[in-house]
Structure 1
Amino acid sequence: MTKEITLEGAPDLRRIYATAALRRGRSGETLPDVRVSRAGVRVDLDDLVAYSHVCRFPVDGTLPVTYPHLVAFPLQMTVMSDDRFPLPLMGTVHVENRIEVSRPVTTDEVLDVSVRALDLRPHRRGRQVDLVSEVEVRGELVWRGVSTYLSRGQEHPDAPVSEPPTSDALDGVTGGPVWRLGEGTGREYATVSGDWNPIHVHALTARPLGFPTAIAHGMYSYARALASLGPRIPEAGLSSHVWFRKPVRLPSTLRLRSTFEPNRTVSVLEHVKGEIEHAVVENTW
């Protein structure tokens, strides 16, 4: 039977990360049957404006496609920091994300948010799990997100692989917006998102976790890509999928190349010299 945990407010992510850093590695073969939720969440307009500024979204009275993830993310961390969760929180990497938007969500609507962990399964480089987040307004499901996290460990070479789409049309696309991300990009995004994971904050805190420099948040890169597409993607009936390929080391200079088809876009975020592919984003509607 699913255990229901209702939070009155957003948990302190810095405390969760600090506690997780002191815990030993975990193991286990099952996920805790728990749902964490918050009811009656109202969007802080100042926080929304700050987030929109950092990610380059317009401020127009509706929530950006990725903004509900920020509301759900602390609940995800609550699930993953539970003593019964079989994967260690620290060092876990966000490798994939899917978002479905049923309709635009206005900034004055009251949100009910819930998160569950599902589908613990092998990955070629360890194990992965989905954190499924749902946002409802007066009982109507308006937004759903599936965040897939990888914990490196015992390899499973024969595990099924989720591969991004290919688009021959991208071969002819040489231009696109260029982003110059400074060393402090991770701290800037952490300030507006609350995600102070040490791998994003500073090289000194990223190195003990296996990264030579701080790396950009995946959801920051994803949000910037969607913001760049702007009116080319709809506000409702949207299914958006990102595959995070290689971490974006900070500082970096990136280019986003996109191709547009009827009811579909495919974008590749890469190093400006085309040496490294960092993410692939597909939107359909």
Structure 2
Amino acid sequence: MMSLLYRALTHRPDKQLLKQFKPPAVPGVHGGKTQLIDPSHYHRYCDMTHWQHGDSLHPCYLQMLSLPLQMRCLAHPRSPFPLFGLVHRKNQISQQSGIRLSKPVTLRTGFSAVTPHRRGWDIHMYTTATQQDRECYRAEATYLVRVKAPHVGDSAEPSASQHEPSAPPYKPSAPAHKNVEEAEIAERWQNIASFSAPADAGRRYARISEDANPIHLSAFTAKLFGFPKAIAHGMWTLAMAVSYAETDKADHSTDINCEFKRPLFLPGNADLKISRGGGITDFLLENTANGEPLIKGAVKSGETGSAKN
């Protein structure tokens, strides 16, 4: 974990390249590793994300395991992007059924696209996992690097033709709480869970995920990067939301599509609302203190498998 933090601190982004009119070229940088899932590590992850131990793999676990690979790609000399200051905006995850916890998994990650955003550039990073010659997992994370490029300030978002992510064929329909009437929320959304994020949640998750970004560790280190308090890891809050939204923990294929809206400051509390229909569970995670949306997204469950330890 400390070696990754050192790489992040010493990496120098190419600020001039990021300020050009055209998107930076997609770096031809990839990373990979093959590993067995450590049962004790996975159980610690399940305990922290409130997922039941068993044969089924948490849909966010492999994405968490890929984070060190993503960081190495971002810290590569050919990467013009910074590691600190990135804003985690979106995640799309597609996990197949039948992943066996006792068999090695090969993870591979890299850059898939760079697209304009009204505040800078969106960096799209893919992750795939294969087991016994079968692709069992595919995900894409979108990070915003904020920079004063010529296009910044334009109201237009990039068109779909500029980037077609490998995502599940559906979109979450969860509205922002403040943009709809209270009556509609009460009719459509069901509040199914509330959970607390203690002050040390960032440090605990950092030990599991190897994501030791200072904004998550303490109020002191977060203030160095402009935050009044430490903030919870986005992938931890997403994993918590999925754990409660996925009431059926049987082994089946799972698609997740989410947008991160606002950070959860530590300590803090969150409420999870869901709306089910057509095999899809829309979810909306809100800050208990002010009702602001933290994450909105959807979970789709599909084919049942027969994973075994």
When normalised by structure 1's length, the TM-score is: 0.88
Aligned to 2:163: none
CA distance in 2, matches of 1:48, 1:72: 14
Aligned to 1:250: 266
Aligned to 1:218: 234
Q: Does 1:228 align with 2:226?
A: no
CA distance in 2, matches of 1:24, 1:211: 22
CA distance in 1, matches of 2:190, 2:99: 35
What SS does the aligned partner of 2:264 have?
coil
Letter in 1 for 2:219: A
1:190 to 186, 200, 206: 206
Alignment of 1:67-78 (within 5 A): 67-78=61-72
Deviation at 1:38, TM superposition (A): 1.0
Q: Is the 8 A contact 1:101 1:143 kept in 2?
A: yes
CA distance in 2, matches of 1:107, 1:130: 28
The alpha-carbon distance between structure 1 residues 196 and 236, as it changes in their structure 2 partners (threshold 3 A), is same
Aligned to 2:291: 275
Q: Is the 8 A contact 1:170 1:257 kept in 2?
A: no
Letter in 1 for 2:173: P
Q: Is the 8 A contact 2:46 2:52 kept in 1?
A: yes
Q: Deviations over 1:9-36 (max 9, x none)?
A: xxxx322222322344423311221221
Aligned to 2:5: 17
Larger mean CA deviation between 177-186 and 46-55 belongs to 177-186
The alpha-carbon distance between structure 1 residues 205 and 42, as it changes in their structure 2 partners (threshold 3 A), is same
Deviation at 1:226, TM superposition (A): 0.9
Deviation at 1:164, TM superposition (A): 5.1
Aligned to 1:9: none
CA distance in 1, matches of 2:82, 2:132: 35
CA distance in 2, matches of 1:59, 1:232: 13
Gaps of 5+ in 1: 1-12
Deviation at 1:230, TM superposition (A): 3.0
Q: Does 1:31 align with 2:26?
A: yes
What SS does the aligned partner of 1:199 have?
helix
Q: Deviations over 1:169-221 (max 9, x none)?
A: 64423633111211111111112212111111111111122211111000001
Letter in 1 for 2:30: R
What SS does the aligned partner of 1:237 have?
strand
The alpha-carbon distance between structure 1 residues 109 and 231, as it changes in their structure 2 partners (threshold 3 A), is farther
CA distance in 1, matches of 2:28, 2:173: 33
When normalised by structure 2's length, the TM-score is: 0.82
What SS does the aligned partner of 1:215 have?
coil
Q: Deviations over 1:79-116 (max 9, x none)?
A: 01111112111111211111001213121021111111
Q: For CA contacts below 8 A with separation 6 or more, give which structure has more relative contact order.
A: 2
Aligned to 2:157: 159
1:82 to 76, 89, 94: 76
Deviation at 1:137, TM superposition (A): 0.6
Larger mean CA deviation between 253-262 and 230-239 belongs to 230-239
Aligned to 1:57: 51
CA distance in 1, matches of 2:299, 2:288: 22
Alignment of 1:82-161 (within 5 A): 82-154=76-148, 155-157=152-154, 158-160=156-158
Letter in 1 for 2:28: D
Q: Percent identity?
A: 24
Deviation at 1:42, TM superposition (A): 0.3
Q: Is the 8 A contact 1:119 1:130 kept in 2?
A: yes
Larger mean CA deviation between 130-139 and 189-198 belongs to 189-198
Q: Deviations over 1:250-277 (max 9, x none)?
A: 1111100111112101010001145311
Q: Deviations over 1:107-139 (max 9, x none)?
A: 102111111101111112111111100000121
Aligned to 1:3: none
Q: Does 1:48 align with 2:42?
A: yes
Backbone CA RMSD of aligned residues: 2.1
Letter in 1 for 2:158: P
CA distance in 1, matches of 2:288, 2:190: 10
